[in-house]
Each structure stands twice: as C-alpha cells, then as structure tokens.
C-alpha cells in the first residue's frame, strides 16, 4: 500500500517533469523579456546611459531572418558599437502574430521598446495606448534629416498636426505582371501600352480567342478587389470618414469596377488573383496577367530558368490618368512605456537614415520611406513600386485614428460574392453595400 503510493507519486512527478521538459526552450525568450524589462523600469534614463541596457525590438519575421535579417543585424551591431553597453534584442514575428503580440503586451504592460507594424493597424495600437506621440522628437530632428522622407509617407503616420506616432520604414505597392509569351502568342505586341480598362479588356479578349486566359478573379478578397477599384476611385472615395461615421466608398465607382470585372470574367480564370492556381497558370504560360506586389518577383525570376518571359507595368485604370493598386506602409516606433525612450528613438532614426536605407534598398530592392536613399538606387522593381505607390489606395485609411470595425471588409467581401453569384445586380449591390458599411461603422 505505502509502496504503491510512492510509486504512484513518482510516476506522476515523472510525468509532470516529462511534460515540462519541453518548456524551458519555449519559455526562454518570454522569461528573458520580462526579466530584462523589470530592472530597466527602475533605472532612470540618465543612469541608463552608463549602465548596460537591453532594448527589446520586435520586427517582421522576414526582417529578422535571411537577407533582411542579415541587414538588420548589421545595423544593430553598428548601433551597439557606437553605444557601448547597449544591446538590442531582435525578435521576428509574423504579421498577425506581431499585431496580437502588441495588443497582449499592451494589456500586460510589456510593450517592446522598439517595434514595427503595418500602418493599417496603427489605429488599433493608438486605441490601446501602445504608441508614443513622437511628434516633438521628430520636430527636434535637423531639417536635412527630415527632408529625406517621402512627405506622403510622413503624413500617413501623422493623422493630425502635432500627433505623429512612428517613422515610416518600408512599404509596398502593387502592379501588373504580364506573361510576354502569352501576349506574343495572342498577337499582342508587349510594347503596346495598356492604360485603360477598355484597352486591357480588348487585350484580354484577344488572349481568350487565342486560347489563353486573361487574369484571375478579384471577387474573393477585399484586397484583390481594391487593386482594381483603385483604378476608378480616388483617395477621397476610399476608407472611412470617422467623424461622419460613413464609408467614403463611391457607389458609382463600385458599379463601374464591378462592370469591368464582370466583363473580364469571361476572359479569365475563376481562380483568385492571389491563388497558387493562378500563379501556376501564369508560370505555365497559360495566363497573361497577375496583379500582385514586389514579393512575387523572386518566384518569377526563378522561373525564368524554365523559360518564363515576363515584365511588369502599372495596373490600368478606368481613365488613362488613374492607375490601380493597393499600398501599405510598415512603420517603426517606440513604446510609450519604455524607460529608454531617447535611446530607442535614436535607434529608430538611425535605421531610417539615408546610409542605412540605401543599403537596405540596394540589398533587397524594397520600397521605403527615405526618398533620398531610393533616388540613388537603380532597380526596376523599386522603380515600379515607387510609381505604383503614387496612385494606389491605402489599406485602411485613415491610419492612427480609429480602428476599423472587425467585419468591415467582410461586408465588402460578402457583397461582392452576392453580386457575382447573381443575388444582386451591381446597382442594388452597391446601394446595399453602402447601407451595410455605414451600419457597420455606426454599430462599432
């Protein structure tokens, strides 16, 4: 009896140990984070200069590994060399994970000293006081530092005068990849410009008649759809007016876009524009057009080996001077609760400065907020991204003011599905869309 209890207990303990055996490895970073934060909070800023300081830095996982990670780690070691005693602890996280990480760390008061995020989520962060107003710090920077940056991207992180929440870091914009083999096979000279939807449709018709496919479907996702809608709408016809609690989407432009997509539908594939199936059709020389961002270029470049012949142009719009596309910005900022705000801000301004972003652009061809750095780089991918950014719509404007209702884009997606499945005519659908979106905003 006694022995059985002993054996039993030891089994339970063993089991518990076994289960927790895997814990230390997973626990380590979190423990390190909280342990590091505790002494820091106590230290005054002045003292921090002298004492060893660790700054927590959260970034996107592709900026913490591979080529982006190597570059970022170079910046960090340079910064650490210039600031003895300072350690910057970089952690890479996936997009969603980064967002939820900030939200939960804000709740528990452990926001990393420095972090990156997408500006489209900015309002979420300001809403939970996870962002510091860095306006005064920014204005204190020398004029020739400030003049390096793209004013548009600065205004994205500055919702109102006197409130600035971050530095713009990198960004993206979308454009149109063209399969030249398909175009030529359909008797289209790739040199012929496609500026308007009408010209684009005419090409797609010709492509379909030659036995190929035009483009994918843009009905599956709000993001896909926005790429096209952007070709009809202006910045004033997109996003939410939070003061009036109404959507800024234009029913007329919405109908116009739907009509174009309905016409293009019969020349294309029903696979979504972003779907792997569509990429496969493009790679196997059956589909002419894909709308996406610079991130697809490595895949297509690799496929050149198998004979892929492609280029990229701006996404045509309803009129010659309005182009399509979506753009987004990634910011870098400091925590409002950091004990080492000056140092953190210095690091932020360091990585955004021309010498760093010049290297960044050269190595990765990634679009960023530093105009001066980008002007020095000869990279066709970077060039098209810059051009595309000029006429693209933002993901969730206005940024850093109010968070979008959770199901705002779900309403748009449902409406698109209803129109394309024939539940609504485009006109009825557009009217319903505006009503539903306004109801969603009002009910938030």
Partner 1 sequence: MKYWFRKTLKHYLMLLPFFFFFSVFFIYPIIKGLNTSFFKWDSVNPAVFVQFQNYINLIKSRDFIISFTNILKYVSITVPLGITVAFSLALFVNSLKGPLSNFFRSAYFVPTMMPLFLAASVWRWMYAPEVGIINTALQAIGLDSINFLKNPAYMMFALIIVDVWRSAGWNMVILLAGLKNIPNDYYDAAKVDGANKWQEMIYITIPLLEPVLFFVIAQGFIFALQVFDAPWLLTLSTTQGYGGRLKALLFPVMDMFGRAFGVYKFGEASAYGFMLTILIIIITSILFIVRRKD
Partner 2 sequence: MTTFFKFIKKHFSIGGIFKWTLAIIFLIMALFPIWWMFNIVFSEPGIPIAINPRLYPTSFSAGIQNIKDVLSEANVLAAYGHSLTYAFLTVIGSLLLTSMAAFEFALFDFPGKKILFALVLVAMMIPTAVTLVPTYLLVAKLGWVNKMQGLVVPGLASAFGLFMLTQFFKDIPREIMDAAQIDGDTHFGVYWHVVLPLSRNALVTMAILTFMTTWGNYVWPMVIAKNNDIITVSQMINWYNDPNSFMTVNLMMTAFLLAAILPIIVYIIFQRQIIQGISITGLKG
The residues that touch partner 2, with contacts defined as CB under 8 A, are: 1, 3-5, 7-8, 11, 15, 18-20, 22-23, 26-27, 29-30, 61, 65, 92-94, 96-97, 100, 272, 274-277, 279-281, 283-286, 295-296, 299, 303, 306-308
CB neighbours of residue 387 within 10 Å: 16
Nearest CA among 204, 198, 216 for reference residue 272 = 216
Q: Is the peptide bond before 30 cis (omega within 30 degrees of 0)?
A: no
Nearest CB to partner 1, comparing residues 11 and 202: 11
Q: What residue 61 binds from partner 2, partner 1, none (CB within 5 to 8 A, per partner kind)?
A: partner 2
Nearest CB to partner 2, comparing residues 70 and 295: 295
Nearest CB to partner 2, comparing residues 165 and 367: 367
Smallest gap, in angstroms, from Cβ of residue 83 to partner 2?
29
- The side-by-side arrangement of strands in the sheet containing 310-313 is 213-215, 287-292, 175-179, 310-313
Q: What residue 85 binds from partner 1, partner 2, none (CB within 5 to 8 A, per partner kind)?
A: none
Q: Which residues contribute to the site for partner 1 (CB under 8 A)?
A: 1, 4-5, 8, 11-12, 15, 103-104, 106-107, 128, 213, 217, 219-221, 269-271, 275, 277, 280-281, 286, 406-407, 409-410, 413-414, 417-418, 420-421, 423
Q: What residue 92 binds from partner 1, partner 2, none (CB within 5 to 8 A, per partner kind)?
A: partner 2
Nearest CB to partner 2, comparing residues 117 and 317: 117
Q: What residue 434 binds from partner 2, partner 1, none (CB within 5 to 8 A, per partner kind)?
A: none
Q: Kindly compute the dihedral angle of the four CA atoms of residues 257, 255, 399, 234, in this order, to the nearest 10 degrees.
A: 70
Q: What residue 13 binds from partner 2, partner 1, none (CB within 5 to 8 A, per partner kind)?
A: none
Smallest gap, in angstroms, from Cβ of residue 15 to partner 2?
6
Round to whole Å and give the CA distance between 260 and 252.
13
Q: What residue 38 binds from partner 2, partner 1, none (CB within 5 to 8 A, per partner kind)?
A: none
Round to whole Å and give the CA distance between 59 and 162.
26
DSSP for residue 196: B
Tokens matching residue 344: 């953190």
Nearest CB to partner 1, comparing residues 268 and 317: 268
Nearest CB to partner 1, comparing residues 65 and 100: 100
Q: 317-327: string of b/e by CB count within 10 Å (b at 16+)?
A: bbeeebbbbbb
Nearest CB to partner 2, comparing residues 26 and 81: 26
For 395, how many CA atoms within 13 A lie in the half-sphere containing its CB? 20
Smallest gap, in angstroms, from Cβ of residue 189 to partner 1?
26
Round to whole Å and give the CA distance between 357 and 75.
10
Phi, psi of 400 (to 5 degrees): 65, 20
β-bridge partners, 114: 57, 334
Q: What residue 377 binds from partner 2, partner 1, none (CB within 5 to 8 A, per partner kind)?
A: none
Phi, psi of 310 (to 5 degrees): -145, 165
Nearest CB to partner 1, comparing residues 203 and 415: 415
Smallest gap, in angstroms, from Cβ of residue 299 to partner 2?
6
Round to whole Å and give the CA distance between 178 and 311.
5
Nearest CB to partner 1, comparing residues 206 and 407: 407
Phi, psi of 309 (to 5 degrees): -120, 115
Residues 269 and 151 sit within 8 Å (Cβ to Cβ): no
Q: What residue 409 binds from partner 1, partner 2, none (CB within 5 to 8 A, per partner kind)?
A: partner 1
Q: What residue 417 binds from partner 2, partner 1, none (CB within 5 to 8 A, per partner kind)?
A: partner 1
Smallest gap, in angstroms, from Cβ of residue 208 to partner 2?
15
Smallest gap, in angstroms, from Cβ of residue 281 to partner 1?
6
Bridging pattern class, strands 53-60 and 114-118: parallel
Residues 267 and 207 sit within 8 Å (Cβ to Cβ): yes
Bridging pattern class, strands 287-292 and 175-179: antiparallel
Give the list of residues 6+ apart from residue 413 with CB closer than 8 angstroms, or none.
Answer: 220, 221, 222
Q: What residue 65 binds from partner 2, partner 1, none (CB within 5 to 8 A, per partner kind)?
A: partner 2
Smallest gap, in angstroms, from Cβ of residue 68 to partner 1?
24
Sign of CA dihedral 405, 406, 409, 411: negative
Round to whole Å and give the CA distance between 412 and 137.
39
Smallest gap, in angstroms, from Cβ of residue 408 to partner 1?
10
Nearest CB to partner 1, comparing residues 358 and 430: 430
Smallest gap, in angstroms, from Cβ of residue 275 to partner 1?
8
Smallest gap, in angstroms, from Cβ of residue 417 to partner 1?
4
């Amino acid at each position: 009896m006694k022995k059985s209890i002993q054996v039993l207990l030891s089994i339970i303990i063993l089991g518990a140990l076994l289960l927790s055996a895997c814990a230390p490895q997973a626990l380590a970073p979190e423990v390190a984070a909280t342990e590091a934060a505790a002494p820091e909070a106590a230290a005054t800023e002045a003292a921090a200069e002298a004492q060893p300081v660790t700054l927590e830095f959260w970034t996107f996982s592709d900026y913490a590994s591979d080529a982006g990670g190597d570059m970022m780690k170079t910046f960090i070691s340079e910064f650490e060399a210039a600031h003895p005693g300072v350690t910057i602890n970089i952690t890479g996280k996936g997009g969603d994970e980064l967002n939820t990480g900030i939200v939960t760390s804000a709740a528990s008061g452990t926001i990393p000293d420095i972090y990156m995020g997408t500006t489209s989520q900015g309002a979420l962060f300001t809403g939970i006081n996870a962002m510091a107003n860095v306006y005064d710090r920014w204005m204190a920077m020398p004029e020739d530092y400030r003049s390096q940056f793209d004013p548009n991207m600065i205004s994205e992180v500055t919702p109102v005068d006197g409130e600035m929440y971050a530095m713009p870091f990198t960004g993206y914009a979308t454009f149109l990849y063209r399969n030249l083999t398909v175009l030529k096979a359909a008797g289209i000279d790739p040199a012929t410009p496609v500026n308007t939807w009408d010209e684009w449709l005419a090409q797609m018709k010709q492509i379909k008649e030659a036995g190929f496919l035009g483009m994918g479907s843009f009905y599956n996702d709000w993001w896909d759809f926005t790429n096209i809608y952007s070709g009809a709408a202006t910045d004033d016809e997109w996003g939410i007016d939070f003061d009036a609690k109404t959507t800024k989407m234009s029913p007329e432009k919405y109908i116009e876009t739907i009509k174009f997509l309905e016409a293009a539908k019969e020349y294309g594939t029903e696979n979504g524009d972003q779907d792997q199936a569509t990429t496969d059709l493009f790679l196997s020389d059956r589909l002419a057009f894909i709308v996406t961002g610079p991130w697809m270029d490595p895949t297509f470049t690799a496929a050149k080996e198998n004979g892929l012949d492609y280029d990229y142009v701006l996404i045509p719009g309803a009129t010659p001077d309005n182009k399509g596309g979506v753009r987004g910005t990634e910011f870098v900022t400091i925590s409002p609760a950091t004990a080492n705000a000056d140092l953190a801000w210095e690091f932020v301004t360091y990585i955004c400065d021309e010498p760093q972003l010049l290297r960044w652009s050269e190595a990765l061809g990634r679009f960023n907020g530093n105009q001066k750095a980008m002007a020095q780089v000869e990279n066709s991918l970077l060039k098209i991204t810059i051009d595309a950014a000029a006429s693209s719509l933002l993901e969730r404007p206005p940024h850093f003011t109010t968070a979008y209702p959770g199901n705002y884009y779900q309403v748009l997606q449902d409406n698109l599905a209803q129109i394309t499945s024939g539940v609504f005519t485009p006109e009825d659908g557009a009217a319903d869309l505006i009503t539903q979106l306004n109801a969603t905003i009002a009910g938030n």
